[in-house]
Amino acid sequence: MEIRNRDHQSPFVTVDGSTIRSLLDKSNAPVVNQSLAEATLAPGQKTERHYHQVSEEFYYILEGRGIMEMDGERRPVGIGDAILIPRGAWHQIEAMDDLKFLCCCSPAYQHTDTYTG
């Protein structure tokens, strides 16, 4: 059984500019096919517009409100929203409030699979 507490995971800044805590991934558990992380953005902060060539990604909004942009379409998002980001889709999220969300990737997130333009 693998259990990781978020408070024991050190935050870091990803290629897209968000602050991430890896909750379960190849760096801290015997994960093979996916990853789970918690991301935070301050009000007005946004990730760098990017895509993943290999990974499909989910965002799940835990706290706050934001604007999700994917392939040119912009929509408001908030607590309880789950967002599918297909591989190859350009995307960016901007925080209207303190924004906290889960990021789930399959296959597991890798810095080398984040492409910015």
Name the band, by pLDDT with cuts 50, 70 and 90, for residue 117: confident
Mean pLDDT of 81-97: 98
Q: In CATH, what number is assigned to the domain containing residue 103? A: 2.60.120.10
The pLDDT value recorded for residue 111 is 83
Percent pLDDT > 90 in the chain is 83
Instruction: Examine residue 27 and state whether it is found in any structural domain, yes or no.
Output: yes
Asked if the structure places residue 36 within a domain, the reply is yes
pLDDT in the model for residue 104: 97
Q: 17-21, 36-40, 51-55, 69-73: which has the minimum mean pLDDT?
A: 17-21
| Separation of alpha carbons 14 and 12, rounded Å | 6
On the question of pLDDT at 15 being above 90, the answer is no
| Lookup: tokens for 22 | 């890896």
What is the per-residue pLDDT for 17?
85
Is 51 within the bounds of a domain? yes
Amino acid at 76: P
HEC letters along the chain:
CCCCCHHHCCCEECCCCCEEEEEECCCCCCCCCCEEEEEEECCCCECCCEEECCCEEEEEEEECEEEEEECCEEEEEECCCEEEECCCCCEEEEECCCEEEEEEEECCCCHHHEEEC
Asked if 97 and 40 count as a contact pair (C-beta separation under 8 A), the reply is no
Q: What range does the domain containing 57 cover?
A: 16-67+77-107
Q: How far apart are CA 99 and CA 84, in angstroms?
A: 17
Give a yes or no: residue 3 inside a domain. no
- With 90 as the cut, is the pLDDT of residue 69 above it? yes
Task: Using the predicted structure, report yes or no on whether residue 90 has a pLDDT greater than 90.
Answer: yes
Q: What domain count does the chain have?
A: 1
